[in-house]
């Protein structure tokens, strides 16, 4: 049994599901993996302890040896804020092009989702009625002002 398979079995037993960090996560609960610089492996345990002490944040060892998996609600945390906090504490994150692209994508999607959660929900069913009423009052080619008794039948 390899380490990844062992992690999968452990997470299944604990009820923690680990989708790929880039997989669609439409709900407000997010699972992400924070990757650290491979040259500074000693910082992983300190970062794990720091993150584990935060309220409403679940932490586990990542799929890769230099990663930490985190689960959080989008209303409580964002990936950008967590990584910024770690950098402010002196931790070095992985800076490969791949990780930079993933970070930018995750930051953008979480920011957009947080902004959308703050917007009032649109009443889709009512909006159809609004457009129907506006169409009735708007002059268009389907309207004939001639009284019905003066219209010619052909």
Domain boundaries, the chain: 3-117
pTM of the model: 0.63
Give 127 or 68, the one with higher predicted confidence. Answer: 68
Cβ atoms of 18 and 31 closer than 8 Å = yes
**Distances in Å between the alpha carbon of 16 and those of 8, 30, 31, 59?**
9, 12, 10, 10
pLDDT tens track for 11-48: 777 666 555 555 556 678 888 999 998 887 788 889 99
CA atoms within a 13 Å half-sphere pointing along the CA-CB vector of 131: 6
Of 122, 150, 47, nearest in space to 92 by CA = 47
Of 93, 97, 99, 100, nearest in space to 39 by CA = 93
pLDDT tens track for 121-150: 666 666 667 777 777 777 666 666 777 777
Kindly state the percentage of the chain with pLDDT values over 70: 79
Q: Kindly state the average pLDDT of the residues 83-100.
A: 93
């Amino acid at each position: 049994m390899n380490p990844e398979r062992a992690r999968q079995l452990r997470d299944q037993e604990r009820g923690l599901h680990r989708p790929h960090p880039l997989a669609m996560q439409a709900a407000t609960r997010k699972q992400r993996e924070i990757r650290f610089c491979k040259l500074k492996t000693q910082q992983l345990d300190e970062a794990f302890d720091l993150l584990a002490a935060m309220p409403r944040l679940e932490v586990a060892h990542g799929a890769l040896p230099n990663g930490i998996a985190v689960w959080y609600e989008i209303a409580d945390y964002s990936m950008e804020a967590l990584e910024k906090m770690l950098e402010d504490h002196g931790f070095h994150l992985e800076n490969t092009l791949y990780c930079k692209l993933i970070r930018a994508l995750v930051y953008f999607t979480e920011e957009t989702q947080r902004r959308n959660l703050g917007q009032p929900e649109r009443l889709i069913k009512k909006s159809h009625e609004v457009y129907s009423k506006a169409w009735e009052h708007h002059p268009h080619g389907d309207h004939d002002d001639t009284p019905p008794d003066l219209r010619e039948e052909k």
